[in-house]
Chain A
Amino acid sequence: MVLQRISKPIIYFILIAMSLFFLMPVYVMIITSLKPFDEVTLATMWQLPTTLDFSGYAEAFGKLAPNLMNSFYLVIPATLLSAILGAMNGYVLAKWKFKGADVLFTVILFGMFIPYQSILIPLIQFLREAGLYNSILGLIFVHVVYGLPITTLMFRNFYANIPDEMIESAQIDGAGFLGIFRHIMIPLSVTSFVVVAIWQFTNIWNEFLFAVTITTSDQQPVMVALQNLSGSQIVHWNVQMAGALLAALPTLLVYILLGKYFVKGLLAGSVKG
């Protein structure tokens, strides 16, 4: 008991110290983004701005606004499509197992772990041939295809938890493959759709390798544009930090508003069924 009484303050001390470490980048991001450029000096980096100056945001938003829109045009259809395909695959692999279904599942799953560098050269050749290179449409296609393994895994694990008896009784009532999917599986998995959608939204929004290799200039999503902000000769740290915050805002908002589902997705995406 004595041990317990001493250790609680120590635990709180460690947790608070770690919280400060975790918040440090956010603090610096916010204060730097609110300073005018001439106040962003090395010596005063940690000090609060003397006056609030939004010119960093104005400049960052001016530069990133088209790319932010690109990211939205990309992420919304890609998320919806990959969730639907994932649900279809997951339904079959959980409830309509055929011979070799488990092997097929593992074969699909491996696609989740490959380094995308290992498919990038033929992918770009293919997109050029298909006329999809340097287009948002091409990026949507890519994210739907390479999102298949993870969305299939997530939906399969959700559907595996729905008791088989429910399917059987629905069959006795005369429901077929599609009827069961539409009237039983989809209504039961609304939460799963939310979890998968959050997962895909976050991943596609934050993705960089496909974005930087498949698109150039005005087709680029926001992460590539943010990276390019630092490419200029004089680094305007206030603009950069404002840009980083703007680019991070959508996924941060999703996390703040739907944090519970976000963490569920995190776990569902990692723990094997």
Chain B
Amino acid sequence: METVKPTHLTEQTVASLSKKKRLSSDQLMAIGFILPSFILILIFVYGFIGWTGYVSFSNWNTLVPDFSFAGLKNYLFLFQDFRFQADLRNTIFFTILFIGFVIISGMGLAILLDQKIKAEPVFRNLFFFPMALSFVVTGVVWQWLLNPSTGVNLFLNKLGMNPKWYTDTNILAGFQWGKIEFGIPAALIAVVIAAVWQMTGFSLAMYLAGLRGIPDEVREAARMDGASEFLIYRKIILPLLRPITVSVIIIMAHISLKIFDLIYAMTGPGANFVTDVPGVYMFETTFRGNYYANGAAIAMIMLVSVAIFIVPYLIHSRKAER
């Protein structure tokens, strides 16, 4: 059956009408495309965070769920807890050392590789490859390399050094603060070495991309003016790389604040919790000890510590785009 076309509609209006109709159905389809993902994120990210927050205020510290309200009890327990205080200290120093060395090594190697080096791809690939590995693999291997009675100590012994690496219980430059000795736990240095070995490739890739993005004319102009290479880097290149440094810091900070697998595989909590971190404590207390409410409280503190960095960064980078 052929429908009768209304004659008073010009061809143009028919076209625009049908286009309007198609557009709106397209728009519906666009929403249909993204809706499932949005609902999943809403439930599994935000809903679950809310539920964890709820658990963290409950009395669920046995195998049997108990959602009765406990107020701040779990949080107060944690902040008075020797282990958690040690975790916070370790997180602070691990984060500072880890980010510092990842930036120095990544930026340093990127600048060296940018000097028109022969076999540059070979070097680049060598520094990148640990990025393909799991933190578990890294942990297993470095545990062997930094074993105090063997590994690199076989060489260091000849130089008269005998570091105890991750078994060291000393706190460098420490002073009593709360229940813990506050200072740099010597044992953490071993974990930092492994983590820096793994993540240097990332900051190297970022800085190399940044350096390649700086047009040669910028350097040429500065050279014409008689600036030394050192001065060019200090005054021109490094300031141009600042946004990359910010990105590297943010990414490394969030990795460091939630780190779990490397430390779990390499050292565990360590004697006196010198290499313990909230991620390991949360795992052990929740899934080995069944202290769900305490574990949830640790998780919420971890989330807040990450959000302090990430939320301003996300809002800022969204704004910068517009």
Contact = CB atoms under 8 A, between A and B. Distances in A.
Nearest to B193: A21
Given A25-B145, A117-B279, A117-B282, A252 B132 contact: yes
Contact of A241 (B37, B52, B141): B141
B247 to A, nearest CB: 6
A106 B314 contact: yes
Contacts of B321: 272-273
Given A45-B154, A241-B144, A272-B321, 10 more contacts: A11-B117, A88-B37, A89-B33, A115-B303, A118-B52, A120-B52, A213-B283, A252-B132, A272-B317, A273-B321
A192 interface: no
B251 interface: yes
Contact of A117 (B125, B201, B302, B317): B302
B48 A248 contact: no
A117 B38 CA distance: 21
B128 to A, nearest CB: 7
A121 B51 contact: yes
B134 A29 contact: no
A190 interface: no
Interface string A159-193: 00000000000000000111000000000000000
Interface of A: 3-4, 7-8, 11-12, 14-15, 18-19, 21-25, 28-29, 32, 42-43, 45-46, 85, 88-89, 91-93, 96, 98, 102, 104-111, 113-123, 126, 145-146, 148-149, 152, 176-178, 202, 205-209, 212-213, 223, 226-227, 230, 237, 240-241, 243-244, 247-248, 251-252, 254-255, 259, 262-263, 266-267, 270-273
Contacts of A227: 136, 140, 264-265
8 A-B pairs with the lowest CB-CB distances in the bound complex, closest first? A206-B134, A115-B258, A96-B30, A255-B132, A42-B150, A119-B48, A177-B26, A208-B261
Which of B27, B51, B197 has the most CB atoms of chain A within a 10 A radius of its CB? B51
A56 to B, nearest CB: 13
Interface stretch (B70-78, B107-115, B179-187): B107-115
A262 to B, nearest CB: 7
A124 to B, nearest CB: 8
A24 B152 CA distance: 10
Interface string B109-134: 10011010100000101111111111
Contact of A252 (B27, B31, B51, B133): B133
Range of interface residues on B (Cβ < 8 Å): 35 or more
Contact of A102 (B140, B141, B318): B318
B205 interface: yes
B35 to A, nearest CB: 10
A73 B59 CA distance: 38
Contacts of B117: 11-12, 15
B30 A98 contact: yes
Contact of B150 (A7, A45, A85, A267): A45
20 contacts: A3-B229, A8-B115, A15-B123, A24-B145, A89-B33, A113-B307, A113-B310, A115-B306, A121-B55, A122-B47, A145-B41, A146-B45, A176-B22, A177-B25, A177-B33, A208-B260, A252-B129, A266-B201, A267-B209, A270-B206
B136 A116 contact: no
A12 B112 CA distance: 9
Interface stretch (B94-102, B167-175, B293-301): B293-301
